């Protein structure tokens, strides 16, 4: 936390954190044994005033620097959750292909190709509201792009079109995709 504060992020700490699906779903999927320690990091994607998208990228870069400078030989995985266009409780919630398939296509392309500059040039708080009232969760994917590093293409990309949204999955391996 101290290093995060020194890097310009007002990180908070709680001994009474109640974890939700953003923590439990990845753990159940990736490590059902739940036998590894986790450090949840929550970001503000819903409550105004929202941080600017570039702050999510900067936080991701800072997380990467903190992990790389940690004086230990333990392996660390940074796992993030986010989403593409999403409407919660609004008129577009159950549309045929989610609120905005074109935004979803561009968003997946930005991440898949590592086009952080293109993403930052188009994504604003206002532009994120247009594809759906909860699309601001895409900024958590931008955070993961920051962790991966500027210009770093995703080693694995997959999407799954549900009836009301598109799911997206991205992986960056430390030394490229495994053989």
From the first residue on, what is the mean pLDDT of each consecutive set of 10 residues in the chain (179 residues)?
A: 75 82 85 89 91 96 90 89 88 71 95 97 95 93 95 94 84 79
- Tell me, what's the pLDDT at 2? 67
Residue with tokens 């941080």: 51
Domain count across the chain: 1
| Strand 166-171 to 156-161 pairing | antiparallel
CATH number for position 95? 3.40.830.10
- Tell me, what's the pLDDT at 6? 77
Supply the pTM of this predicted model.
0.90
- Tell me, what's the pLDDT at 98? 60
On whether residue 177 sits in a domain, the answer given is: no
Q: Which domain holds residue 158?
A: 2-171
On whether residue 179 sits in a domain, the answer given is: no
Distance set, CA 37 to CA 77, 89, 126, 135 (Å): 11, 34, 37, 30
Other Cβ atoms less than 10 A from the Cβ of 11: the count is 13
Measured CA to CA, the distance from residue 164 to residue 157 in angstroms comes to 20
On whether residue 178 sits in a domain, the answer given is: no
């Amino acid at each position: 936390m101290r290093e995060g504060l020194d890097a310009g992020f007002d990180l908070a700490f709680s001994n009474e954190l109640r974890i939700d699906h953003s923590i439990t779903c990845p753990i159940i999927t990736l490590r059902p044994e739940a036998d590894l320690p986790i450090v949840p990091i929550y970001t503000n994607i819903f409550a105004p005033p929202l941080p600017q998208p570039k702050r999510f990228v900067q936080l991701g870069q800072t997380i990467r620097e903190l992990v790389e400078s940690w004086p230990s030989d333990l392996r660390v995985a940074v796992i993030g959750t986010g989403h593409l266009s999403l409407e919660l409780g609004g008129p577009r919630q159950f549309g045929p292909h989610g609120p905005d398939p074109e935004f979803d296509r561009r968003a997946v392309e930005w991440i898949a190709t590592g086009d952080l500059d293109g993403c930052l040039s188009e994504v604003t708080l206002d532009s994120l509201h247009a594809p759906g009232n909860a699309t601001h969760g895409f900024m958590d994917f931008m955070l993961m792009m920051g962790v991966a590093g500027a210009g770093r293409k995703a080693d694995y990309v997959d999407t799954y079109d549900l009836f009301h949204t598109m799911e997206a999955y991205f992986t960056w391996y430390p030394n490229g995709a495994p053989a």
